[in-house]
Chains A and B, each alone.
Chain A
């Protein structure tokens, strides 16, 4: 393939994509209009199953299988990261020196840490009621823990963050999602079908059938995944050093 042929190929491909995109955009509903064919159906389905947050209903009920795929992507990405960033034979761990932290930074981090952690857990728990859910809350809770690295130092963070436990938690949460899906099959309906549990009272924590359970599984999976991911990057940036070839 010479240069000219490649350019020609790119030009044809881009032109085709551009034509399809323009054709699709012309058919879109108007910006800010009141007519949303899919939105209206999604809202009706979510109200039928007593789920106050329609987005949670789409994620964990109407399109729960898509969420399984997304969770698998995150799981595979973190797994790849763990394999790539492991300590190799020509590297060693150097214990990081205890760091001096400016008092205002320390005070800020230690005040904000519990607030941020609680916010993350709140967002996970109320995923089926208000904006947010397992993914958002999981990321907030996981990053909140790392305020300890800012406020104290890496050793303090390592003490509250046994990475092995979080790796187990990640896998367990991913399994929990699968098992909840299979429970639907065993009960005689379909994989991930939301027909197992009573739908409960609208706008309470236990409403929505399996939605809060799937949401909690995703919350745990994402929180553990982000902690493991950041732990691998922090290990590389702070602890692991290459052996000097003397």
Chain B
């Protein structure tokens, strides 16, 4: 593990993953998850696995946060309607 780039990428992954767990609001969590996806993609590229890095970039930093945000929006909309009816 002499390569400093690998160490920096690993530290970034550990930091953003911890942040993703620590943040409680689902919307912010989706954004942190997106950052985590990018950092993981960097780590995979540094470790000479660009194929996995590309998948991680496409799925982890774009599709998963998008699905989360859409789900949050649906749940909030339902909450608003219930609130208005009351």
Residues of A within 8 A of B (CB): 31-32, 53, 55, 123, 131-133, 135-136, 139-140, 143, 146, 226, 229-230, 233-234, 236-237, 241-242, 244
Number of interface residues of B (CB under 8 A): 22
B contact residues around A131 at 8 Å (CB):
50-51, 53-54
Residues of B within 8 A of A (CB): 1-3, 50-51, 53-55, 58-59, 62-63, 66-67, 70-71, 73-74, 77-78, 81, 85
A–B pairs, 7, beta carbons within 8 Å: A32-B1, A32-B2, A123-B54, A136-B54, A143-B62, A230-B70, A233-B66
Known: A132-B54, A143-B62. A233 touches B71 (CB 8 A): yes
A contact residues around B53 at 8 Å (CB):
131
Known: A139-B63, A236-B74. A32 touches B58 (CB 8 A): no
B contact residues around A140 at 8 Å (CB):
58
Name the one of A123, A132, A237 contacting B70, with C-beta atoms under 8 angstroms. Answer: A237
B contact residues around A53 at 8 Å (CB):
51
Assess the B62–A136 pair: CB atoms within 8 A.
Answer: no
> Per DSSP, are chain A's interface residues mostly helix, strand or loop, or mixed?
helix
- Tell me, rounded to whole Å, the shortest Cβ–Cβ distance linking B69 to chain A: 8
A contact residues around B3 at 8 Å (CB):
32
Name the one of A136, A229, A233 contacting B58, with C-beta atoms under 8 angstroms. Answer: A136
